[in-house]
Amino acid sequence: MMAHAEQLHALLTDARFEVVAWNDLTEPSTQVMHAFLNAPPQPLGLHVFVPDFRTKATNLVHNLDHNRIRLIQAVLHAPVVLRIFTMFLDGHGYLAIAERLTAEHLPPPSGHDRARNPHRLGVAWGKSAVRAILQNPRYTGYQVWNKQRRDEVLLDVDDVAAGHVSKMRWNPPDQWVYSAEPTHPPLVSRETFDQVQARIAARSRTSPAPRRPRHGRMCCGGGFRVGCAGGACRASGSAGRPTIAAATQRVP
């Protein structure tokens, strides 16, 4: 059974489409087409440019009269998340996507939740927001666990008494645990998500290695003790301060 205009509107909304304009033209179009078919042939009109226009108009009116079709004029915006995935697969980078969304005045995540982001303007997209969306598997409709782990890292491997700090680190995607069934409506397919992750991994492998900083004379003072052996120095802070390790060049 064909969905009514209200049902179609609800289906599109549930699919996360933004309905910008919606105009059901079924009734006025039916009246216009009936008037055309009942009127005597005119020398000018669409029938001059469209082959078999009267036959096509007759079929259209028949389907309209039997409620087989509906004529709806609508303007829809695809979900921003889906656009981001599509643009990335089309070859756009993080910055290009962020600039495009900002130019179209689409609010970033911080703009949708001002209560949790009072320190942000919420008007411009950043590369980090685009990257976070592209790497979020929940947009596939599944719940995902074990994405991150907590590691305890020593502040100083040579001084255990200096203590440690907890760091959250990402697990490899093959260690993520997906729910057996979808838990919420998906915004992208699993296939699209996997393609994006493969593209991100390929870009990471081909990205140039960061340049190492050039080290020169190192000066420390006030509350630090410095020990040097050859060309390497290690500076340890006083109690409660983190340890700083740096490689320096031997100064003649």
Residue 50 has pLDDT above 60, yes or no: yes
Q: Is the pTM of this model over 0.75?
A: no
Q: How confident is the model at residue 244 (pLDDT cuts 50, 70, 90)?
A: very low
∠ Cα 170 109 77 (to 5°): 120
- Rounded CA-CA distance 14/20 in Å is 15
Burial 221-251 (b: 16+ CB within 10 A, else e): eeeeeeeeeeeebbbbbeeeeebbeeebeee
Q: How confident is the model at residue 29 (pLDDT cuts 50, 70, 90)?
A: confident
Indicate the burial class of 210 (C-beta count within 10 angstroms; 0-12, 13-18, 19 or more). exposed
Contact 101, 95 (CB under 8 A): no
Q: How confident is the model at residue 224 (pLDDT cuts 50, 70, 90)?
A: very low
Higher pLDDT, 179 or 1: 179
- Rounded CA-CA distance 100/111 in Å is 16
Q: Percent of the chain at pLDDT above 90?
A: 13
Could you state, in order of their start, the residue ranges of all structural domains in the chain? 5-77, 80-143+179-206, 214-252
Q: What pLDDT shows up at residue 245?
A: 46
Q: What pLDDT shows up at residue 193?
A: 93
